Structure 1
Amino acid sequence: MPGFQLGEAIPPDTAHAVSVSLPTWKANIGYEEGQDWVIGRLTTGYPRFFIHKSIQSFASDIVAEFGSEGSKAFLFPARQIASRCVSFVESIAPPEIAASLDTVHLVLDTSKPTSETLASLSPSISAVFCSPEGFPYLKQYWQHTGDGVSSRRAEFCHGLFRDGLLRRDDGVPTAVPSGPKPCKGPRRYQRLDSGMPTPSPNKLSPERAAGLGPDVQETSLFLEERFGRNLDVSFVEPAKSAIKRRIAGALRTDRELTAAPPPEGEMASNSRGVVNLREHDIYLFPCGMSAIFNFHRALLGARGSMKSINLGFPYVDTLKILQKFGPGCVFYGHSSEADLDHLETRLEAGERFLALFCEFPGNPLLTCPNLARIRQLADRHDFAVVVDETIGTFANINVLPFADVVVSSLTKIFSGDCNVMGGSAIVNPNSRYYAALREFARTGFEPDTYWPEDVMFMERNSRDFVSRIDRVNANAEAICGVFRDSPLIKSLFYPKFNESRPNYEACKLPGGGYGGLVSVVFHSREQAIVFYDAVDTAKGPSLGTNFTLTSPYVILAYYQELDWAASFGADPDMIRISVGLEETDNIVSVFKTALKAAEDSGGSHQE
């Protein structure tokens, strides 16, 4: 795994990889500054920050067909999402940029012979066009909300588009090739070995085939072979069910996916401590930020327009969502008892809030708020509690009893393979807002934005989720031991060793550990640079991968706000390590070697 070249996909040779190699400190700076020697080498990137090349290619073809010269397009899975994007840009952009916006919505052209599989997938794409000057405004919506189209959906629908099988939903069809067109669709739709369950190929029934002419029969069978063979939709709903039950801590086996209904009563014996939790209380989204964004939207819809509270130094886009969508938020960046004291004073004085959002633990400082006290304040002063458990993971901790909504990025350790995005949200059935949130979700959420192929990959990847956690926990503690013994380290951040450990212990499961994320600060920047350049791990964005992944996280997340981040304890030279499944002795040796290189450098570094 280590030894990647600049810009190479992580994992290598993976069409839908979630990370990208930035192997030197200088490369991370170059990435943030948009330097050509870095940007020009990127084959991919983290999907909300780097628009996947399959999406770029599809967007270019849509612009060529429907857009004006020089325009750009952002792709979304549903018309309502595209409309929200337009409304957001209109609210923040200059009038001339807002005036440049246009949309086109593409759906399956059912007037042409299509397969049952395609019809049941309901493939759709909504494009928002803008001028080049409008690109940064639309990119904000894409990045913050996570509601952009997934690369697999784009790739699949691009194949349909090229074959003339998508039309504008106003009845204007897309261009149809004038003659026979060779099959240029994704190769995985043309082979049996896709890494997913392999049911019998879909075939036309004899009755249906008899009623079709030979040309239509041939076309329909071709579509089955090309687009439907490895994406049997009969497996999608069972896959969603399995994912939800794993999230609930109710599905503890690695059993193969089947279309049979799950065992009766399985959900009641979950690890969440909520016996009335049901599968329909768990929602799946295309990525973790989409879960946060949409439940912030749900709370505004269910409770009315009020400011939220962001407690603790947050993942960058969570704070941006609360600041930019709705009436804003109050930010407490230290997640401390003093912060809660100040908040309590405001609440006692009569201020009212929509919800408190926090991470448990936080990223990258790994501090844990006092959820018991937060729950008491919320009950007394009527605000919702939304907890992001991505870093702690529900195999280590249980925060649902303290929360109204628990969100998580499934992209991380739940998947582990770093090749698919996903997010989840659990609505606590005992929450006072339960009925209102469920009703908003029923009417206000777009159905099926989580593309079926992404669902299938996520289900497969997560089958061994629980069994992976123990190794990750053990490796992280071993690496902490290396850092704690090193005189080069000024600060170590890990839930087991932070001052907020009692808050973590209050939510820790009996068999749980302290997670796979570790952050360190060296005594000097020069030492940090030498260490980072020398450490023989994968190096790039994201976390929770099955392999160890190292990143100068604060630089990547807050390069334009380094002083602000530092004021809350996030040192600009911090290095964050997402610990993987390597043999413990081997990964410890890797970090000892890199520390030795930093020590031998004498604390000086020449770029």
Structure 2
Amino acid sequence: MPSFEVGESIPPDTAHAVSVSLPTWSSNIGYEEGQEWVVSRMTTGYPRFFIHLSIAAFADELVAKFGTKNTRAMLFPTRQIAARCSDFLKSRAPAELVGSISAVHLVLDIEKPAAKALEPLRPTISALLFAPEVFPFAKQYWQHSGDGVSSRRAEFCHGLFRDGLLCVDDGPKSPLQKPYRGPRRYHRPSSIDAGTVTLVNNGGSGGESQETSRFLEERFGRNLELSFLDPARSAIRRRIAGALRSDNELSKSPQPEMESNTRGVVNLREEDIYLFPCGMNAIFNSHRALLGARGSMKTVNVGFPYVDTLKILEKFGPGCVFYGHASESDLDALEARLEDGERFLALFCEFPGNPLLTCPNLVRIRQLADKYDFAVVVDETVGTFANINVLQFSDIVVSSLTKIFSGDCNVMGGSAIFNPNRRYYAALTAFAQKEFEDTYWPEDVIFMERNSRDFASRIDRINANAEAICDVLKPHPAIKQLFYPRYNESRPNYEICRLPGGGYGGLLSITFNHRDQAVAFYDAIETAKGPSLGTNFTLTSPYVLLAHFQELEWAKGFGADPDLIRISVGLEETDQLVGVFKSALKAAEETGHAVAK
């Protein structure tokens, strides 16, 4: 098993890595407390929590050119997104600081010949500049919404800026930001696939297309065939639909309509699947779409959620009613409110939840939604659509493609599926057609497509490895509780959604009888240790400590123990993994004996 130093990227030597090494319990506390011995060594971090160094470098250069000495900047992909963040800052930051907020919008200088080849990429950047005291509020927006620029976009656009190919755009809307529906096969009333473009016409014989091809390939790297961008987007969508299990040879030819899928929705179309730059952005935009389609109403969150989901529902819109246990009694309480006349926009839940792996009763939730007129949004990231089918109960299904769909921990992505058979479908797609922007950067699309080709086969291996680790953990006397869909009380709810041949996923969590045992286990276990999940390698994290450091008692009230350890199981050899966990358990057991004495 590899060994990582504090602050080293996971995977190592990866410019756009999604995780970072926090190899000891004390290093996790040091990170949360901002201790110099940890934060000064951070080469990267989870992208919505840690602003990538390439993004920070570009922001600093824009401040130097357009700001003052006492200014900070945050970068967004488009003018419209920067405006949303600006509105958030004006509603949250102290009134005396609002005047410090300004914006700079950069677009291609199409008067320059070298920029012509780049027009299809729409490499826009919008920078918000503000006083340093405003930064914490801007960081909230960045973290919750997932609307910030990707590190690859920032890196690419920084190069253009230095080459003089980006210029300031003072107009209300750049021509490069106009909605673009992409290839003709997507031109249907419900499609909002803005920005799906054919970058290179390699079939032509003209010197201009060959020159364009060379220019783009050199900009992106010769191993990225940008002429395959459209097919790559299509392949990602079809894999998400369960209509394309693998594809090692992408075709540039237009694909026929999907004839079947594993989602159980016969009329599901490729254009019902929307791609976003990260999973949280899929959730954020799904919430936006519901507010736009149905009006301003409170939402319901059932089950202990990933931290930013609840923050979105609380901070963007009229508020959220939270039922944190995902229990039948929670649904009883919700039903009582509905019977008393309260009405809600939507119910959001995870299936299973992170990190407690609890599964809400989707059958009952669907019945309540149909009776009392609210939408159901299910996050399937942990369960994965290779194991479960939740679209049958949902209006929208969201997922973080960053996780197991990618596996390689080097690119972000998210998706949302609008169920064509639900009552809000027409209103949602109408909102999306008008308001959604495609900001998924082409380089990230290409990496995601390549990473996801073997998604289905990886799931089988990860399911088996997780079961083997559970067999080691479950009977061990040091373990207080094992959280895994197969062993939780909510297993019947999981089974209703489990596909034939589907497993129980690669995520599990454990608590120990004593805190010292948790610390000893974490410090001893020879896996990668850091944030994120769904990686091709096993990744361990003191999840509650990291995600809820400022609200540990609140989390504990919903069963999320401060000393909980979350394990994302990878593709390693099963016997090797079992040995690693047995060794770490031995360290915990020895600590337990010392505590007992």
Question: Shorter-chain TM-score: what band?
Answer: over 0.9
Residue 238 of structure 1 contacts residue 257 of structure 1 at CA under 8 Å; is this kept in 2?
Answer: yes
Name the aligned partner's letter for residue 386 of structure 2: A
Q: Residue 179 of structure 2 aligns with which residue?
A: none
Residue 220 of structure 2 contacts residue 443 of structure 2 at CA under 8 Å; is this kept in 1?
Answer: no
TM-aligned CA distance change 1:202 to 1:167, over 3 Å? farther
Q: Deviations over 1:433-490 (max 9, x none)?
A: 00000000000111x2000000000000000000000110011011111111210000
Residue 121 of structure 1 contacts residue 233 of structure 1 at CA under 8 Å; is this kept in 2?
Answer: no
| Matched position secondary structure for 1:408 | strand
Q: Residue 573 of structure 1 aligns with which residue?
A: 563
Distance 1:199 1:591 in 2: 49
Distance 1:206 1:361 in 2: 53
Deviation at 1:260, TM superposition (A): 1.7
Structure 1: where are the runs of 5+ without partners? 172-197, 210-216
Q: Which of 339, 351, 367 matches 2:358? A: 367
Residue 526 of structure 1 contacts residue 603 of structure 1 at CA under 8 Å; is this kept in 2?
Answer: no
Q: Deviations over 1:75-109 (max 9, x none)?
A: 01111000000001111111122221110000010
| Matched position secondary structure for 1:12 | coil
Deviation at 1:69, TM superposition (A): 1.5
Deviation at 1:258, TM superposition (A): 2.1
Name the aligned partner's letter for residue 219 of structure 2: F
Q: Which of 440, 443, 448 matches 2:431? A: 440
Q: Which of 320, 326, 338 matches 1:329? A: 320
Name the aligned partner's letter for residue 75 of structure 1: L
Deviation at 1:233, TM superposition (A): 4.0
Residue 105 of structure 2 contacts residue 126 of structure 2 at CA under 8 Å; is this kept in 1?
Answer: yes
Q: Residue 249 of structure 2 aligns with which residue?
A: 256
Q: Please, what is the CA RMSD of the aligned residues?
A: 2.1
Q: Residue 501 of structure 2 aligns with which residue?
A: 511
Given the alignment of the two structures, is residue 521 of structure 1 paired with residue 511 of structure 2, yes or no?
yes
Q: Deviations over 1:11-62 (max 9, x none)?
A: 0010000000000000000000010100001000000000000000111111
Distance 1:81 1:542 in 2: 25
Given the alignment of the two structures, is residue 227 of structure 1 paired with residue 219 of structure 2, yes or no?
yes
Q: Residue 593 of structure 1 aligns with which residue?
A: 583
Q: Residue 459 of structure 1 aligns with which residue?
A: 449
1:90-489 alignment runs, 5 A limit: 90-114=90-114, 116-170=116-170, 205-206=206-207, 223-224=215-216, 226-227=218-219, 230=222, 232-262=225-255, 264-265=256-257, 267-446=258-437, 448-489=438-479
TM-aligned CA distance change 1:160 to 1:310, over 3 Å? same
Identity %: 72
TM-aligned CA distance change 1:223 to 1:70, over 3 Å? farther
TM-aligned CA distance change 1:224 to 1:253, over 3 Å? closer
Q: Which of 548, 564, 576 matches 2:554? A: 564
Deviation at 1:601, TM superposition (A): 2.5
| Matched position secondary structure for 1:496 | coil
Q: Residue 61 of structure 2 aligns with which residue?
A: 61
Deviation at 1:314, TM superposition (A): 0.3
Deviation at 1:584, TM superposition (A): 0.6
Distance 2:269 2:356 in 1: 33
Distance 1:208 1:571 in 2: 59
Deviation at 1:229, TM superposition (A): 6.2
Name the aligned partner's letter for residue 306 of structure 2: Y
Residue 106 of structure 1 contacts residue 124 of structure 1 at CA under 8 Å; is this kept in 2?
Answer: yes
Q: Deviations over 1:285-311 (max 9, x none)?
A: 000000000010000000000000000
Distance 1:139 1:506 in 2: 39
Name the aligned partner's letter for residue 38 of structure 2: V
Distance 2:217 2:273 in 1: 34
Residue 118 of structure 1 contacts residue 227 of structure 1 at CA under 8 Å; is this kept in 2?
Answer: no
Deviation at 1:208, TM superposition (A): 9.1
Distance 1:335 1:37 in 2: 39
Q: Residue 36 of structure 1 aligns with which residue?
A: 36
Q: Residue 174 of structure 2 aligns with which residue?
A: none
Deviation at 1:117, TM superposition (A): 3.5
Deviation at 1:508, TM superposition (A): 0.1
Distance 1:15 1:512 in 2: 34
| Matched position secondary structure for 1:546 | coil
Deviation at 1:420, TM superposition (A): 0.1
TM-score w.r.t. length of structure 2 = 0.92
Name the aligned partner's letter for residue 368 of structure 2: L
Name the aligned partner's letter for residue 408 of structure 1: S
Residue 524 of structure 1 contacts residue 603 of structure 1 at CA under 8 Å; is this kept in 2?
Answer: no
Residue 203 of structure 1 contacts residue 221 of structure 1 at CA under 8 Å; is this kept in 2?
Answer: no
Deviation at 1:120, TM superposition (A): 1.0
TM-score w.r.t. length of structure 1 = 0.91
Deviation at 1:201, TM superposition (A): 8.2
Distance 1:360 1:199 in 2: 40
Distance 1:200 1:223 in 2: 13
Deviation at 1:203, TM superposition (A): 10
Q: Deviations over 1:212-235 (max 9, x none)?
A: xxxxx9xx8984564266455431
Distance 2:475 2:207 in 1: 72
TM-aligned CA distance change 1:314 to 1:386, over 3 Å? same
TM-aligned CA distance change 1:522 to 1:224, over 3 Å? closer
Distance 2:309 2:376 in 1: 14
Name the aligned partner's letter for residue 292 of structure 1: I
Q: Residue 182 of structure 2 aligns with which residue?
A: none
Residue 118 of structure 1 contacts residue 228 of structure 1 at CA under 8 Å; is this kept in 2?
Answer: no
Structure 2: where are the runs of 5+ without partners? 172-198
Given the alignment of the two structures, is residue 538 of structure 1 paired with residue 490 of structure 2, yes or no?
no
Name the aligned partner's letter for residue 588 of structure 1: V
Name the aligned partner's letter for residue 510 of structure 1: P
Name the aligned partner's letter for residue 122 of structure 1: R
Q: Deviations over 1:235-254 (max 9, x none)?
A: 11111100000000000233
Most deviating of 93-102 and 572-581: 93-102
Name the aligned partner's letter for residue 312 of structure 1: G
Q: Deviations over 1:339-358 (max 9, x none)?
A: 00010011011100000000
Distance 2:97 2:310 in 1: 25
Distance 2:384 2:459 in 1: 9
Q: Residue 181 of structure 1 aligns with which residue?
A: none
| Matched position secondary structure for 2:577 | helix
Residue 204 of structure 1 contacts residue 221 of structure 1 at CA under 8 Å; is this kept in 2?
Answer: no
Residue 200 of structure 2 contacts residue 213 of structure 2 at CA under 8 Å; is this kept in 1?
Answer: no
Distance 1:35 1:300 in 2: 40
Distance 1:245 1:14 in 2: 28
Paired residues, number: 569
Name the aligned partner's letter for residue 242 of structure 2: G
TM-aligned CA distance change 1:394 to 1:224, over 3 Å? closer
Name the aligned partner's letter for residue 313 of structure 1: F
